[in-house]
Amino acid sequence: MTFEVLNADGGTAVNAFDIVAVEGTKRTKVGRLRVDGDRLKFAFESAAEGVPAANYLRNCHLRLRTGTDVGGLSLRMPMKLEALVMEDANLGGSSRTVLPFAPDTSKIEIRVLPLAETFPEYAFRDAVSTAKAQKGTVDIVLGGKYSASMFLQVGTTLAPNGRLDLKISAFSLIGMRVRPYRVKETQDALAAAQAVLDQANLELAQLAQIPAEQQGAYQNDIALRNVLKNEKEAEIKLAQDSLAFVESMKGQGIPVGVCYLADEYKVWLATPDGQPLD
């Protein structure tokens, strides 16, 4: 089957074009393009219901050229895609959406859109906010006091039938190691660090009671406990900041758009408000 674009009304129409599906000798008018004021509009004809392949017109981008001016029109309005919500204590969340009449899935990508003002300072790792929808990830790197403790990751998989699975996960940064964030681990680490700090403070208080003339013999013990105290205070602050961030982020949404790359043009398949982006 092929499609043809012809001047409407047998070639007599001005600024109106018919889209005709051609299958062998059968020709069916499935859509019309027309100029309405300063806008170009597309609509399916009722006969398109009898031509299943007409549904794939919605994935097309119509390229228009006038002199040196080049523009275009996507024949598809995107579906509405709800934000990916961080809904559990570990800031995890997932969603499943089916993209009807999805085009070539290898040319579909997701884009993580700007986050709400309630988020702390953030950036996309390597300044990349897009990923192949078939299988990919986008990292959201946190700034300020959270930069050394954790980051967020949006993951995507897209099946050939158009089923799109999105997932938001949080990861802890422990030294050079990256591991899935678990709030209980942070709570346990906070309790352990606090216990060590309390013991160090108790021992420092006891050492402070030693007569001044004997203090010299204990300077190494005092120094070691002060180092330990400073380390544990830093660990406690990091854990407290992490827990505060998690509490503030629960229920927050990550907006995502989905588009088909038609050559250098984008056909938006799904967006937060159901309207094309760019």
Q: What DSSP state is assigned to residue 46?
A: G
**What residues have CB less than 8 Å from 46, skipping those under 6 apart?**
none
Residue 133, pLDDT score: 98
Query: What ranges in the chain are assigned the alpha helix state H?
Result: 8-11, 183-208, 219-249
Mind listing the pLDDT tens digit of every residue in the chain (278 residues)? Answer: 788 888 888 888 888 999 999 988 999 999 998 888 888 888 899 999 888 888 888 888 888 777 787 777 788 889 999 999 998 889 999 999 999 989 999 999 999 999 988 888 899 999 999 999 999 999 999 887 777 678 999 999 999 999 999 999 999 876 667 889 888 988 999 999 999 999 999 999 999 998 888 888 889 999 999 999 999 999 898 888 888 888 888 889 999 999 999 877 889 999 999 999 97
**At what angle are helices 183-208 and 219-249 packed, to 10 degrees?**
150
Query: How many other β-carbons are positioned within 10 Å of the β-carbon of residue 277?
Result: 13
Copy the structure tokens of residue 232.
């544990």
Closest CA to 150 of 82, 242, 64: 242
Q: What is the pLDDT of residue 10?
A: 81
Phi, psi of 277 (to 5 degrees): -100, 180
Query: Do residues 9 and 20 lie in contact, with contact meaning Cβ atoms separated by under 8 Å?
Result: no
- C-alpha distances (whole Å) from 113 to each of 146, 183, 277 are 21, 26, 10
Q: Identify the pLDDT of residue 174.
A: 66
Which CA distances in Å does 51 have to 61, 98, 139?
A: 20, 22, 42
- State residue 175's pLDDT score: 60
**What pTM value is reported for the model?**
0.80
How high is the pLDDT of residue 9?
83
The span from the CA of 158 to the CA of 133, in Å, is: 6
Contacts of 28 (CB under 8 A, 6+ apart): 20, 21, 47, 48, 50, 51
